[in-house]
Amino acid sequence: MIEWISVKEKTPDMHEEKDEDGTIYHVSDTVLCWDGDEQDPIAIGVYENGKWYANGIGQPDVTYWALINDPEGKIVNLDSRCGW
């Protein structure tokens, strides 16, 4: 079951990453994002330096987020599986 968390209450935990130039930034693991759009309700994205992104595109209207769980309920970290 997906447990949706309001962005007003909490944002995902962040960790440090370095880009190819050595610049440090803070980013979450990959999560599910929802912006209230009933036609296309869910995106896979990240929370980075205070902003939401899905497919590298800013998502200013994200209202809820959720950890990604497998069918048995285990949290899936897509970052390590996809090489992100």
What would the two tokens of residue 62 be? 């994200």
Taking the C-alpha atoms of residue 41 and residue 34, their distance in angstroms, rounded to an integer, is: 6
Contacts of 83 (CB under 8 A, 6+ apart): none
pLDDT of residue 68: 83
For the segment 20-78, what is each residue's pLDDT rounded down to a tens digit?
999 999 999 889 999 888 877 788 999 998 999 998 899 999 999 998 876 676 667 65
Taking the C-alpha atoms of residue 17 and residue 40, their distance in angstroms, rounded to an integer, is: 30
Amino acid letter for position 1: M
pLDDT of residue 39: 79
Which among 44, 34, 24, 33 is positioned nearest to 84, based on CA atoms?
A: 44
pLDDT of residue 73: 64
Higher pLDDT, 79 or 61: 61
Does 81 have pLDDT greater than 50? no
Taking the C-alpha atoms of residue 76 and residue 78, their distance in angstroms, rounded to an integer, is: 6
Predicted TM-score (pTM) of this structure: 0.76
